[in-house]
Amino acid sequence: MDPLPNAASCRLLCPQERFVKDIYRKVITVSGKIFHVVSSPYWIPDAVHENSHHLQFVEEGGKSCYSCSRKILEKAYYYCSHCCEDYHKECVESPSLFQSSSQPKHPLQLVWFPGYYNT
């Protein structure tokens, strides 16, 4: 039996919306700049009834990622139909906390510098 048809459906959050929906809103200061610690997941269940940004997976050449400002070189990326912005697949699907081989002693935390975005 294939478990996927019975799995709960979920919807990916636009990175801008993810920062806005973060309920903890913790901040840290690094080199005199204030960063918000992102602890919200990058998805919400489809069962949650709320107005949210809708990401569409696109398979064609992109422009630049609104989250990291780097050019999208891959043919597949995400487009937010609410804010009309393009995002790398990696920028949308980034976990808030992850282990890196370059920093094996502790996990790395996703942060957001609010002065960077136009939200």
The Cα diameter of the chain in Å comes to 55
Distances from the Cα of 100 to the Cα of 29, 89, 106, 108, angstroms:
22, 18, 8, 7
pLDDT in tens, 33-84: 877 777 777 777 654 555 566 677 777 766 888 877 788 888 888 888 778 8
What does the pLDDT average to over 13-24? 73
Output the pTM of the full model. 0.61
Position with higher pLDDT, 7 vs 42: 42
